[in-house]
Chain A
Amino acid sequence: GENVEQHPSTLSVQEGDSAVIKCTYSDSASNYFPWYKQELGKRPQLIIDIRSNVGEKKDQRIAVTLNKTAKHFSLHITETQPEDSAVYFCAASKGGSEKLVFGKGTKLTVNP
């Protein structure tokens, strides 16, 4: 089955710096890659996703890149702000109704 590895497990940056979180997946049939943000004590919420037919997607300060050949995808957050502090999860699935397989999460801390 699918296996998703996520690095780093913790990341600390200064406000205004960029943050990058990387994930690799094992199943070449996976074609949907969402990123979820979970603030302390809250539920995970989708912040951005990408499908295998595109290599990059941006939404304001966040972007996701996908390298299908290498089977890895990354989350990029620019101009980080304290409210970006949270745990971020990547996931992979074969799309449609297929179940998501999550990485173990990255705790991002943005220091003012």
Chain B
Amino acid sequence: DAEITQSPRHKITETGRQVTLACHQTWNHNNMFWYRQDLGHGLRLIHYSYGVQDTNKGEVSDGYSVSRSNTEDLPLTLESAASSQTSVYFCASSQTGRGDEQFFGPGTRLTVL
């Protein structure tokens, strides 16, 4: 079955390290999104992409970067992890022209010590 996966599911890292979170979808969706979820803030958009080689900044993009080299993957990189980036990260995907529903991955819990 088509799906969206994230890895790792849990990650503990140290301040200053570079961290990459993977997101992979097999629906061939053109749109992909990264959110962070923090208590009291809901889901906030970090970066998004409407297709290969396209990336856009979201509401809370500082300290994060993404690249889209193929349809299936949108990795999220924390260039120099900070304690403020401790959060649960969700990626999502959707397909233009097939309704607007975004399908979410299972999430990655990241702890920065």
Contact = CB atoms under 8 A, between A and B. Distances in A.
Interface of A: 6, 32, 34, 42-46, 49, 89, 93, 95-105
Contacts of A105: 42
Contacts of A32: 100
28 contacts: A6-B42, A34-B100, A34-B101, A42-B106, A43-B90, A43-B104, A43-B105, A43-B107, A44-B43, A44-B104, A45-B104, A49-B101, A89-B42, A89-B43, A93-B100, A95-B100, A97-B30, A97-B31, A97-B94, A97-B96, A99-B33, A99-B45, A99-B58, A100-B102, A101-B45, A102-B35, A102-B42, A104-B42
Contacts of B64: none
A20 to B, nearest CB: 19
A71 to B, nearest CB: 18
Closest 6 pairs (CB-CB, A-B)? A104-B42, A43-B104, A102-B43, A97-B96, A102-B42, A105-B42
Contacts of A46: 101-102
A6 B40 CA distance: 11
